[in-house]
Amino acid sequence: VGGQGPQAGSPTEEVCPSPSPSRDKRLPPGPFVPTWLPAHSRGHLRVTYRIPSPVGRRIPWEYSSSRITFPGMNAAVRAVTRMGIYVGAKVFLIYEGYEGLVEGGDNIKQANWLSVSNIIQLGGTVIGSARCKAFTTRAGRLRAARNLVEHGITNLCVIGGDGSLTGADIFRSEWAGLLEELVRDGQISEEVAKKNCRLNIVGLVGSIDNDFCGTDMTIGTDSALHRIMEVIDAITTTAQSHQRTFVLEVMGRHCGYLALVSGLASGADWLFIPESPPEDGWEDLMCERLGETRSRGSRLNIIIIAEGAIDRSGKPISSNYVKDLVVQRLGFDTRVTVLGHVQRGGTPSAFDRVLSSKMGMEAVMALLEATPDTPACVVSLSGNQSVRLPLMECVQVTKDVQKAMDEKRFEEAIQLRGRSFENNWNIYKLLAHQKPAQEKSPFSMAILNVGAPAAGMNAAVRSAVRIGICQGHTIYVVSDGFEGLAKGQVREVGWHDVAGWLGRGGSMLGTKRTLPKTCMEKIVENVRKFNIQGLLVIGGFEAYEGVLQLVEARGQYEELCIVMCVIPATISNNVPGTDFSLGSDTAVNAAMESCDRIKQSASGTKRRVFIVETMGGYCGYLSTVTGIAVGADAAYVYEDPFTIHDLKANVEHLTDKMKTDIQRGLVLRNEKCHEHYTTEFLYNLYSSEGKGIFDCRINVLGHLQQGGAPTPFDRNYGTKLGVKAVLWMSEKLQQVYSKGRVFANSGDTACVIGLRKKAVAFSPVTELKKVTDFEHRLPQEQWWLNLRLMLKMLANYQISLTEYISGQMEHVTRRTLSIEKGF
Contacts of 823 (CB under 8 A, 6+ apart): 216, 217, 381, 383, 420
Mean pLDDT score, 103-118: 93
Distance (Å, rounded) from C-alpha 225 to C-alpha 207?
12
CB environment 104-120: b (16+ within 10 A), e (fewer): beebbbebebebbbbbb
**pLDDT score at 447:** 98
> 805 labelled as ligand-binding?
no
Distance (Å, rounded) from C-alpha 261 to C-alpha 343?
14
**pLDDT score at 435:** 80
377: β partners: 202, 390
> 706 labelled as ligand-binding?
yes
Distance (Å, rounded) from C-alpha 453 to C-alpha 569?
8
Residue scoring higher pLDDT (146 or 798): 146
pLDDT, tens digit, 9 for 90 and up, residues 555-590: 999 999 999 999 999 999 999 999 999 999 999 999
> 341 labelled as ligand-binding?
yes
| 3 band by pLDDT with thresholds 50, 70 and 90 | very low
**pLDDT score at 806:** 76
> 615 labelled as ligand-binding?
yes
> 554 labelled as ligand-binding?
no
Sign of the torsion angle spanned by Cα atoms 576, 580, 581, 587: positive
Q: What is the dihedral of CA 380, 386, 391, 396, to 10 degrees?
A: -50
In one-letter notation, the amino acid at residue 770 is K
> 342 labelled as ligand-binding?
yes
Residue scoring higher pLDDT (84 or 661): 84
Mean pLDDT score, 117-122: 92
Edge to edge, the sheet with strand 608-614 lists: 634-636, 664-670, 608-614, 695-700
Instruction: Please check the confidence at residue 90 and state whether its pLDDT lies above 70.
Output: yes
Strands 200-205 and 377-382: parallel
Instruction: Please check the confidence at residue 650 and state whether its pLDDT lies above 60.
Output: yes
pLDDT, tens digit, 9 for 90 and up, residues 369-411: 988 888 888 998 887 788 898 888 888 888 888 899 989 899 9
> 335 labelled as ligand-binding?
yes
> 207 labelled as ligand-binding?
yes
448: β partners: 478, 537
Distance (Å, rounded) from C-alpha 390 to C-alpha 215?
12
Mean pLDDT of the chain: 87
Contacts of 340 (CB under 8 A, 6+ apart): 251
Omega within 30 of 0 (cis) for the link into 641: no
**pLDDT score at 360:** 94
**pLDDT score at 700:** 94
Distance (Å, rounded) from C-alpha 449 to C-alpha 452?
9
> 244 labelled as ligand-binding?
yes
Percentage of the chain exceeding pLDDT 70: 90
Rg (CA), the chain: 28
DSSP 687-699: HHHTTTT-EEEEE
Secondary structure class of 338 (helix, strand, coil): strand
> 308 labelled as ligand-binding?
no
Percentage of the chain exceeding pLDDT 90: 66
pLDDT, tens digit, 9 for 90 and up, residues 411-437: 989 988 888 898 899 999 999 888 877
Instruction: Please check the confidence at residue 708 and state whether its pLDDT lies above 70.
Output: yes
| 59 band by pLDDT with thresholds 50, 70 and 90 | very low
> 671 labelled as ligand-binding?
yes
**pLDDT score at 632:** 94
Mean pLDDT score, 220-226: 94
**pLDDT score at 345:** 87
Instruction: Please check the confidence at residue 43 and state whether its pLDDT lies above 60.
Output: no
- What is the CA angle 108-114-117, rounded to 5? 105
Mean pLDDT score, 526-541: 97
Instruction: Please check the confidence at residue 51 and state whether its pLDDT lies above 50.
Output: no
Which backbone phi and psi does 381 adopt, to 5 degrees? -105, 125
Chain CA centroid to CA 121, Å: 16
pLDDT, tens digit, 9 for 90 and up, residues 156-183: 999 988 888 889 999 999 999 999 999 9
In one-letter notation, the amino acid at residue 44 is H
Residue scoring higher pLDDT (24 or 616): 616
Mean pLDDT score, 543-548: 97
> 572 labelled as ligand-binding?
yes
- For residue 10, the 8-state DSSP code is S
Distance (Å, rounded) from C-alpha 532 to C-alpha 535?
7
Do residues 793 and 86 make contact, with C-beta atoms less than 8 angstroms apart? yes
> 241 labelled as ligand-binding?
no
In one-letter notation, the amino acid at residue 354 is V
| 214 band by pLDDT with thresholds 50, 70 and 90 | confident
**SS3 of the chain: helix, strand, coil, percent, to 5:** 45, 20, 40
**pLDDT score at 244:** 87
Distance (Å, rounded) from C-alpha 479 to C-alpha 509?
5
Mean pLDDT score, 212-235: 91
Instruction: Please check the confidence at residue 4 and state whether its pLDDT lies above 70.
Output: no
Out of 24, 185, 209, 216, which one is annotated catalytic? 209
> 697 labelled as ligand-binding?
yes
Long-range contact set of residues 662-665: C-beta below 8 Å, sequence gap at least 24 = 662/114, 662/117, 662/118, 663/606, 663/607, 663/608, 663/694, 664/599, 664/602, 664/603, 664/605, 664/606, 664/607, 664/608, 664/609, 664/610, 665/608, 665/609, 665/610, 665/633, 665/694
Instruction: Please check the confidence at residue 1 and state whether its pLDDT lies above 50.
Output: no
In 308-406 the beta strands, taken as DSSP E runs, fall at 334-338, 377-382, 385-390
Secondary structure class of 53 (helix, strand, coil): coil
Residue scoring higher pLDDT (597 or 385): 597
Do residues 244 and 333 make contact, with C-beta atoms less than 8 angstroms apart? yes
Distance (Å, rounded) from C-alpha 609 to C-alpha 665?
4
pLDDT, tens digit, 9 for 90 and up, residues 8-31: 333 333 333 333 333 333 333 333
> 664 labelled as ligand-binding?
no
**pLDDT score at 420:** 85
Which backbone phi and psi does 558 adopt, to 5 degrees? -65, -25
* Catalytic residue check, 324: no
| 465 band by pLDDT with thresholds 50, 70 and 90 | very high
> 253 labelled as ligand-binding?
yes
**pLDDT score at 341:** 87
CA distances to 59, 199, 450, 558, 655 from 4, in Å: 9, 9, 54, 67, 37
User: Count of alpha carbons within 13 Å of 819, Cβ hemisphere only?
Assistant: 16
User: What is the H or E stretch that residue 35 is in?
Assistant: strand 33-39
> 819 labelled as ligand-binding?
no
Do residues 492 and 528 make contact, with C-beta atoms less than 8 angstroms apart? no
- What is the CA angle 439-445-448, rounded to 5? 145
Secondary structure class of 749 (helix, strand, coil): helix
Mean pLDDT score, 601-629: 90
**pLDDT score at 225:** 96
- For the ranges 176-180, 206-210, 411-415, 803-807, the lowest mean pLDDT is seen at 803-807
> 473 labelled as ligand-binding?
no
Chain CA centroid to CA 683, Å: 32
CA distances to 69, 78, 144, 705 from 344, in Å: 7, 19, 28, 26
Residue scoring higher pLDDT (533 or 438): 533
